[in-house]
Chains A and B, each alone.
Chain A
Amino acid sequence: MARIVVAGAGAIGASLAYHLASLGARDVVLADRGRVARGATSKAMGGVRQQFSTAAEVRLAQASIRFFEELGEPLFAQVGYLFLATTEQGLAELEERRELQAELGVPVERLDARFVEGLRTDDVLGAVFCATDGVADPPAVTRELVRRALRLGVEVREGTAAETLEAEVLVIACGPWSAALGAARGVDLPVRPLCRQLLETSELPQPPENLPMVLEAESGFHFRRRGHRLVLAMVDPEPRWGFEEVVDETLYDDCLERLRHRYAPAAEATIERGWAGLYDMTPDAHPILGEVADGVYAACGFSGHGFMQSPAVGRALAEEILGLSPSLDLEPYRLERFDSGAGFAETLIL
Chain B
Amino acid sequence: MLRGVLAAAVTPLRDDGAALDEEAFGLYLAFLAAAGLDGILALGTTGEGILLSAAERRRAAELFLDGPLPVIVHCGAQTTAETAALAGHAAESGAAGVAVISPPYYALDDESLLAHLAAAAHACAPVPFYVYEFQARSGYAVPLPVLERLRELAPNLAGLKVSDRPLEAVEPYLLEGLDVFVGAEDLVLAGLERGSAGAVSGLASVFPEQVVALVRDRAGDVTELRRTLDRYPFQAAAKFVLGRRGVPLREDVRPPLRRLNDEEKRELDAWLESS
Contact = CB atoms under 8 A, between A and B. Distances in A.
B216 interface: no
Interface in A67-99: 74-75
Interface stretch (B100-108, B154-162, B184-192): B154-162
A156 B3 CA distance: 10
Contacts of B152: 74, 227
A150 B3 contact: yes
A334 interface: no
A318 B151 CA distance: 30
A139 B157 CA distance: 10
Contacts of A144: 177
B177 A139 contact: no
Interface of B is mostly: loop
Given A35-B1, A144-B177, A227 B153 contact: yes
Nearest to A32: B1
A42 interface: yes
A211 B177 CA distance: 25
Contacts of A146: 1
B179 interface: yes
Interface string A138-176: 011001101100100000101100000000000000000
B32 to A, nearest CB: 16
The number of chain B residues touching the other chain, given as a range, is 20 to 34
B156 A227 contact: no
A137 interface: yes
A42 B158 contact: no
A139 B1 CA distance: 11
B70 A158 contact: yes
A240 interface: no
Contacts of A74: 148, 151-152, 155
Contacts of B40: none
Contacts of B126: 37-38, 42-43, 139
Nearest to A140: B155
B58 interface: no
Given A38-B126, A144-B177, A147-B177, A158 B153 contact: no
A228 B153 contact: yes
A208 to B, nearest CB: 13
Contact of A35 (B96, B151, B155, B177): B96
Given A147-B177, A158-B70, A139 B156 contact: yes
A36 interface: yes
Nearest to A275: B126
List the 10 closest pairs (A to B, CB-CB), nearest first: A137-B155, A42-B126, A36-B1, A227-B153, A140-B155, A74-B151, A74-B152, A139-B126, A146-B1, A144-B177
Interface of A: 9, 35-38, 42-43, 74-75, 137, 139-140, 143-144, 146-147, 150, 156, 158-159, 226-228
